[in-house]
Chains A and B, each alone.
Chain A
């Protein structure tokens, strides 16, 4: 089983602060996805990273895929209460058809 480890598990910060969450694995992935899940809703895709060393930006969110394609990070600049939610990393595809997610980072941004 190709496990995805996410850290930290919980993060509570004040509005305006910056933060970084991490997704790590011992295995190489061809691609990695980041999702955000708001309370009472299903996860929604934020971004897919495919190439080692790739950096993608989505407004205040910056996603990076490690050079070795075993890790990824999500950095949020000037966090806002609307960023509150569960951030999940996940991979899809592969020969065994199974889909794997990390346990997530639960982010709370206090006003």
Chain B
């Protein structure tokens, strides 16, 4: 059974802390994504990676960075957490973007609260 796993389901951090969100997929997919999901705003793309050590900014990259040292692992980093980064964070992977209709596999999400 293919899977995308995320390191934590719930996380509470304080303003100013450095936060790491980890995502691992076991499908040998080249492409991985980080989204945040907020009520009324839908899914918004933060960053994506199409290969090891390769990354591109999504629609809302400010305040975030990412790391892809191994194909199966994609990390989202909040350098200095702020309260407006309280959200649900979803990781996803897909095998071939250009095919246009390959399934995106999502992790269960991490609900981050920044106090």
Contacts and interface: CB of A to CB of B under 8 A. Distances in A.
Interface of A: 30-31, 33, 35, 40-45, 48, 50, 88, 90-94, 97-99, 101-104
Contacts of A31: 100-101
Interface string B84-104: 000000101010011111111
Contacts of B50: 97
A52 to B, nearest CB: 14
A96 to B, nearest CB: 10
Contacts of B43: 43, 88, 90, 101
A106 to B, nearest CB: 9
Nearest to A100: B45
Interface string B56-70: 101100000000000
B4 interface: yes
Contacts of A93: 97-102
Contact of A30 (B41, B42, B58, B100): B100
B48 A42 contact: no
A98 B45 contact: yes
A71 B65 CA distance: 35
20 contacts: A31-B100, A40-B108, A42-B4, A42-B90, A42-B108, A42-B109, A43-B90, A48-B103, A88-B43, A91-B100, A92-B97, A92-B100, A92-B101, A93-B100, A94-B97, A97-B56, A98-B58, A99-B45, A101-B42, A103-B42
A50 B109 contact: no
Nearest to A1: B59
A36 to B, nearest CB: 11
Given A42-B90, A42-B92, A103-B40, A94 B108 contact: no
A41 B59 CA distance: 23
A30 B107 CA distance: 26
Given A41-B109, A42-B108, A92-B94, A99 B4 contact: no
A109 B9 CA distance: 26
